[in-house]
Amino acid sequence: MDIIELLKILVLGIVEGFTEWLPISSTGHLILVNQIIQVKQSEAFVNMFNVVIQLGAILAVVVIYFRRLNPFDRRKRSNQRIATLRLWMKIVVACLPAMVFGLLLNDWIDRVLMDNAYVVAAMLILYGVLFIVLERYNEGRKFKMERVGQISFQIALYIGLFQVLAMIPGTSRSGATILGAMFLGCSRGAAAEFSFFLGIPVMFGASFLKVVSYLANGYSFTGIQVFYLLFGMAVAFVVSVYSIKFLVGYIKNNDFKFFGYYRIILGIVVLAYFGVTALAG
């Protein structure tokens, strides 16, 4: 086993777990980190690895919110079970736009935009500015929806449309949905939680389609590569648990402006790094 390669897998798992749930774009971070540490594996492995660590991240949401999202929990009263089923129906409604546009545009986006660092940088900066502008607009304003349960089916669908924007690399799925939910009147806490919940079917579905695609094309991996995949997934899971808890605690007393500034700085760094690399090449 190559210890250096294992350390690279560890770093990428940490980056995915930490950035997937914060509105700062896991894709932007992974592209930059990948360029710096350069995992010495096949392109097929790297693509599969990016899928698998996302599965690790989404499992963290399932574990943390298992009772909240389980409509069959015997400890819940009848009205609580009904409320949970309604929440799942809203999640499904919100996921419909991503399902439709994902099937239509996924291959094109992977082919044209996924490895385009300039698109990533532009989206990092753009959404960073939008977060700052929206938070300044919301100063002193009262949110119409303080809890996830207050989100209507119509609002859920609109949030789902914002989620489609996350197909553009560098946007951040959580960033797009949180920004959209807050724009529509959700509190920071409700926006963040609903974004977590939306990630379950969307990320599982996208990962399933990509895994099936790789298997259908006859890709196979060595035993050590399978170990790398499972190790990266486990790291992403553990770090995601802490990342989600951090964000939930952070937004109780803070707004998202910090993340907006961070996105702008990261976007400039990505732009400068790849710009210098292009000139040097």
- pLDDT at residue 46, rounded to an integer: 84
- pLDDT at residue 191, rounded to an integer: 96
- pLDDT at residue 261, rounded to an integer: 97
Predicted structure pTM score: 0.88
pLDDT at 245 over 90: yes
Q: How far apart are the first and last CA of the chain?
A: 33
Locate 66 and state its tokens: 């298992």
The predicted model gives 135-158 an average pLDDT of 93
Closest to 56 in 3D by CA, of 10, 24, 96: 10
Average per-residue pLDDT for the chain: 89
33-to-130, 211, 218 alpha-carbon distances in Å: 25, 23, 28
DSSP string, the chain: --HHHHHHHHHHHHHHHHHTTTTT-HHHHHHHHHHHH---S-HHHHHHHHHHHHHHHHHHHHHHTHHHH-TT-TTS-HHHHHHHHHHHHHHHHHHHHHHHHHHHHHHHHHHHTTT-HHHHHHHHHHHHHHHHHHHHHHTTPPPSB-SGGG--HHHHHHHHHHHHGGGSTTS-HHHHHHHHHHHTTB-HHHHHHHHHHHHHHHHHHHHHHHHHHHHHTT----HHHHHHHHHHHHHHHHHHHHHHHHHHHHTTT--SHHHHHHHHHHHHHHHHHHHHHHHH-
Q: Which amino acid is at 270?
A: V
The predicted model gives 160-188 an average pLDDT of 92
pLDDT at 281 over 70: no
Render the burial of 179-196: b for 16+ CB within 10 Å, e for the rest. bbbbbbbbbbbbbbbbbb
- pLDDT at residue 81, rounded to an integer: 94
pLDDT at 114 over 70: no
Residue identified by tokens 């532009």 is 122
- pLDDT at residue 43, rounded to an integer: 79
The predicted model gives 145-153 an average pLDDT of 95
Q: Which amino acid is at 213?
A: S
The predicted model gives 13-20 an average pLDDT of 94
- pLDDT at residue 112, rounded to an integer: 62
* Cα gap 130→123, rounded to integer Å: 10
- pLDDT at residue 23, rounded to an integer: 93
Q: Which amino acid is at 146?
A: E
pLDDT at 47 over 90: no
The predicted model gives 117-128 an average pLDDT of 90
Count how many Cα atoms sit within 13 Å of the Cα of residue 117 in the half-sphere of its side chain.
Answer: 20
Pick 52 or 258 by higher pLDDT. Answer: 258
Residue identified by tokens 């940088």 is 121
